[in-house]
Structure 1
Amino acid sequence: MTQAAEKATIELRGVRKAFGALTVVHGLDLTIEGGEFVVFVGPSGCGKSTLLRMIAGLEDVTAGDILIAGRDVTEVDPSKRGIAMVFQSYALYPHMSVRQNLAFGLEMAKTPADEIERQVQSAAEILKIGALLERRPGQLSGGQRQRVAIGRAIVRKPLAFLFDEPLSNLDAELRVSMRIEIARLHRELGNTMIYVTHDQTEAMTLADRIVVLRDGRIEQVGTPHEIYEDPNNLFVAGFIGSPRMNIIDAIYLGDGRVTVAGTTISLGHPLAGVAGGEKVKFGIRPEHLTLGQISENSLKVKVDFAEYLGSTRYLYSMLPTGESLTIEQRSGADLSSGEEVWLNFDVARVRLFSSVGSRLRAATREMVATQ
């Protein structure tokens, strides 16, 4: 297989999926570059698995087109799309050995025996399962079974790999090691990969780009850094990040000033798309809050509960307004329930959103001149 074929571009053009009167995917446009590792992430029911199954050909497309390596595959049989899919369930044949499971698809395609052996050995070496080839799935751990399932995809030499929540059945420690394995696999093979998960940690650690979905629509596409640091709307800001971003009611006063929990804060620049006196949402992540003395930009809170996690401590606190605020501490004195403290922050870390959830950004000079 040529390098160009291994790095196939996948294009979605106005892709829509409906079950009767219910539309679950709403006319999506997306281009996944050859060799990219793209993760679809979103809450349950957002359409991410349905979208992946349409790319694989396991679900019919109601409207729109799907192209793989420049070829329209919208009506093409799944077996002829040049993709390999890895499911949440390992879907291994229990009566076959690992070797036989890996070879089965190639045998069905009438691949020569020497080529089958070469592909099986190559996949076993890549996934470090050579010592398991004569075992049956029932003799393997969950992580080993998932490696075999991935190996069965590798031997097909696909244009692209599609992963549908492949680590959901594994325990927390094994999920971490398998994430590393999958990242290494992408680095070594270089294939285009699409990975569906509801786990934002998997999305942040694996992806070249993340596609955040909600209710069958794309909310934002970007690198993990872009999605985390520069969310386009309130949904993305709240969904990505653990603990989630603190979101507090506020009022924009105009001239780059906002009042939150009784404190007036100067942003240093006016905002576009919002007028003075309008309600807004004030967002700041837990790691961007620090304990300190009262200053120009500080908030007073009462500690409700402290969660100690070794190197990190989370303080769950309450503002005078009754709204909750989470603070991440990497060091500092232990605080007891009921203690009142001041929180400081860099205004550059603040993210503001309109009352309907759209991101509010700094106004340009031209905007300011017309205000």
Structure 2
Amino acid sequence: MTKEARPTSLTLTDVRKSYGSLAVIHGVDLTIGEGEFVVFVGPSGCGKSTLLRMIAGLEEVTDGEVAIKGRDVTDLDPSDRGIAMVFQSYALYPHMTVRDNLAFGLKMSRTDAAEINRRVGQASAILKIEHLLDRRPGQLSGGQRQRVAIGRAIVRKPDVFLFDEPLSNLDAELRVSMRIEIARLHRDLGNTMVYVTHDQTEAMTLADRIVILRDGRIEQVGTPRQVYEDPANTFVAGFIGSPRMNLLEGTWSEGVVRVGDAPLPAPALQATLADRTPLTFGIRPEHIQISTEGVDGLPAVVEFSEYLGGTCYIYCRLAEGQVVTIESRGDLQPASGDRIRLEFPPVRSFLFNTDGVRVR
């Protein structure tokens, strides 16, 4: 089944959240397809975890509707919504074995013992933790504990999995391996998954679609490629990508953008702009071409560079003071103080108006 043909799994309709007079979620509308992996990403305080907790029923919805598989669950208890949640903290019972931790929720719901054993066996096999079933959480590594927490969600057979920054407590190497495990889990189970993170690498590698949030509002929804290659505004352009997109202040003049006295070729536009219109010119670090010879291109002075093996990040300053970051994968590594020239392919460039909205 194509993504376009997927039935709806989760729908948010004009969802709002306020604490007294303080509004933190401002009319969010979102539809998530059956089996889709959607990641909420944004800076701290943008509302991503609050929105996830509203889906889970852990935060009351001030206004709007949450529906799961066409059923209005806005006012239902978390246990009645058909969801299972994995938190940043593992929240395992330390006195129980892994087996008992996995089974606890099913026992509380009076599930048949044979069914409990079947589900625990199935979940532990999926997560490759069969050899850990008789251990207690204190005898496990951080990655093993997180697998158990995920297994506890799997045994519930939910309609929707909710992940709230589940890898934040792990070291960098373990985060990579667990990210692969979660991607494999989604492939094998096929359940709808909604995942919250502040880590854009997790968002870009895991998501079918990314929801980028700022100040309780959705800034853009799209595939990882769409939000990276076709940002809707300067916030998305600057937030997605590391190093961030270069955003240079300039002015429209006779078909080019002038940054200081230098004309930069502009991308093809459908919009008509008046001369002297203020604009922001955007280009990603890996798309800037650099040269140490010749007279073409925008002159810049190298401030410093970072050699990272296969990649070199070069930080330079333009004549009028704006800073540009370049990502080079060649052998070129200019030294501080070197004078270089920068070329900006128009097809790789973006323009934004003074409100930060993309000009097309």
Using the size of structure 2 for normalisation, the TM-score is: 0.96
Q: SS of the residue aligned with 1:9?
A: strand
2:93 aligned with 1:93, yes or no? yes
Q: SS of the residue aligned with 2:121?
A: helix
Runs of 4+ in 1 over 6 A off after TM superposition: none
Residue identity opposite 1:212 in structure 2:
I
Change (3 A) 1:132 1:8: farther
Change (3 A) 1:171 1:207: same
1:45-104 deviation digits (Å, cap 9, x = unpaired):
100000000000000000000000000000111100000000000000000010000000
1:113-164 deviation digits (Å, cap 9, x = unpaired):
1111110111011001111111111111111100000000000000010000
| Shift in Å, 1:265 | 2.7
Residue identity opposite 2:190 in structure 1:
G
2:172 aligned with 1:172, yes or no? yes
| Shift in Å, 1:269 | 3.5
Q: For residue 306 of structure 2, what is the aligned residue in structure 1?
A: 307
| Shift in Å, 1:332 | 2.0
Change (3 A) 1:288 1:295: farther
Q: For residue 225 of structure 2, what is the aligned residue in structure 1?
A: 225
Q: SS of the residue aligned with 2:79?
A: helix
Using the size of structure 1 for normalisation, the TM-score is: 0.93
Q: For residue 127 of structure 2, what is the aligned residue in structure 1?
A: 127
Distance 2:7 2:138 in 1: 35
Q: For residue 280 of structure 1, what is the aligned residue in structure 2?
A: 279
Q: SS of the residue aligned with 1:26?
A: strand
User: Which structure 1 residue ranges, 5 or more long, are not aligned?
Assistant: 1-5, 362-371
Matched pairs, number:
354
Q: SS of the residue aligned with 1:60?
A: coil
Q: Is the 8 A contact 1:7 1:191 kept in 2?
A: no
Q: For residue 288 of structure 2, what is the aligned residue in structure 1?
A: 289
Matches within 5 A, 1:343-354: 343-354=342-353
Q: Is the 8 A contact 1:291 1:344 kept in 2?
A: yes
Distance 2:294 2:69 in 1: 58
Residue identity opposite 2:334 in structure 1:
L
The sequence identity of aligned pairs, in percent, is 64
Q: Is the 8 A contact 1:220 1:227 kept in 2?
A: yes
Matches within 5 A, 1:69-108: 69-108=69-108
Matches within 5 A, 1:126-145: 126-145=126-145
Q: For residue 3 of structure 2, what is the aligned residue in structure 1?
A: none
Distance 2:298 2:231 in 1: 23
Distance 1:215 1:43 in 2: 9
Q: RMSD across aligned C-alpha pairs, in angstroms?
A: 1.4
Q: Is the 8 A contact 2:14 2:27 kept in 1?
A: yes
Distance 2:267 2:49 in 1: 43
Q: Is the 8 A contact 2:248 2:280 kept in 1?
A: yes
Residue identity opposite 2:41 in structure 1:
V
Q: For residue 341 of structure 1, what is the aligned residue in structure 2?
A: 340
Change (3 A) 1:116 1:270: closer
